[in-house]
Amino acid sequence: MKTVEFREALREAMSEEMRRDEKVFLLGEEVAEYNGAYKVSKGMLAEFGAKRVIDTPIAELGFAGIAVGAASNGLRPIVEFMTFNFSLVAIDQIINSAAKMLSMSGGQYSVPIVFRGPTASAGMLSSQHSQAFENWFANTPGLKVVVPSTPYDAKGLLKAAIRDNDPVIFMESEQMYGDKGEVPEGEYILPIGVADIKRAGTDVTIATFGKITKVALKAAEELEKEGISVEVVDLRTVRPIDYKTIIESVKKTNRLVVVEEAWPLASISSEIAYMVQKEAFDYLDAPVRRVTTADVPLPYAPTLIDASLPNVPKVIKAVKEVMYRS
């Protein structure tokens, strides 16, 4: 094992796949000459050249469309959005072309493409640059949606995404690019659609994903000091969702809190709460609780950001609500 930053794990995944398959290429704003807005693609232009690491204009709809066309004709593009907030400009190509091409062509055209970049809040960037769209894309048949929380997961899942014959939305976080973690020295691939139990416990299940997994784990550490054993299930993928792992955990703990960085209406947490009550209702000793971002555009002021986003005190409060409900 070796220790690498989150951004390095992503770079290793892309570089290894580009060495393995000449059909794989990267395009997006500042990915080449500038080494990526967050230095994820550092050094890749020098290794692979300007035909495979391509700087694009600030025109997400245009370069997303070019990439969908390339994927439909046998190439395997990786499209980097500087932030998934900017993917809204390209959403017509993602939803109406990439996600539907296989079905609309009667199986004649697959679209092996990865759209990747940071999602959700990243500090004082205000409303237009701080939105979590995982549930938006997960609502679309034809897409797979991956949201890793560690360098290990990021590398293994990105390699799987690049090799997948369907379009994959791969969502990261600006606040995680510097996170460090262990990854194997040799090649490995993680299957898309399989959750991971990041912490075993017996009293309460917390289901979460992405960078908010760190919040859940910290809350679990604090709760352990009070004698509450929390199991943290990291979804890793929100389409498809690994319902089996969540439900099996709930059958053991009899309580569930779902934590995500998104607005509450029609969220991933809503879907999980529904499926758990449908499949494991008789095992629940308390109603499912959710911790989400407040139902407002994210403010700019740091105090208001803290008040809006999921945090450790909110998660602890939710866990205690399901633990001590009479």
Q: Mean pLDDT, the chain, as a whole number?
A: 96
Q: What percent of the chain has pLDDT over 70?
A: 100
pLDDT tens figures, 300-310? 999 999 999 99
2-183 CATH pick, 3.40.50.970, 3.30.479.30, 3.40.50.1820, 1.50.10.10: 3.40.50.970
In this prediction, residue 322 has a pLDDT band, given cuts at 50, 70 and 90, of very high
CB distance 25 to 51 below 8 Å: yes
Per the residue annotation, which of 8, 60, 134, 231 is the catalytic one? 60
Q: Does residue 326 surpass a pLDDT of 70?
A: no
Topology of 196-323 in CATH?
Rossmann fold (3.40.50)
Structure tokens at 249: 């955990």
Mean pLDDT of 147-161: 98
Give the dihedral sign, CA 34/179/135/120.
Answer: negative
> Residue 27's pLDDT is what?
98
pLDDT tens figures, 181-212? 999 999 999 999 999 999 999 999 999 999 99
Give me the torsion for CA of 238, 253, 219, 151, rounded to 10°. Answer: -40
Per the residue annotation, which of 8, 12, 80, 129 is the catalytic one? 129
On the question of a common fold for 2-183 and 196-323, the answer reads yes
CA angle 97, 101, 103 (to 5 degrees): 135
> Residue ranges per domain, the chain?
2-183, 196-323
> Active-site residue 60, yes or no?
yes
What pTM value is reported for the model? 0.96
> Active-site residue 172, yes or no?
no
Q: Which residue has the tokens 């990041």?
A: 198
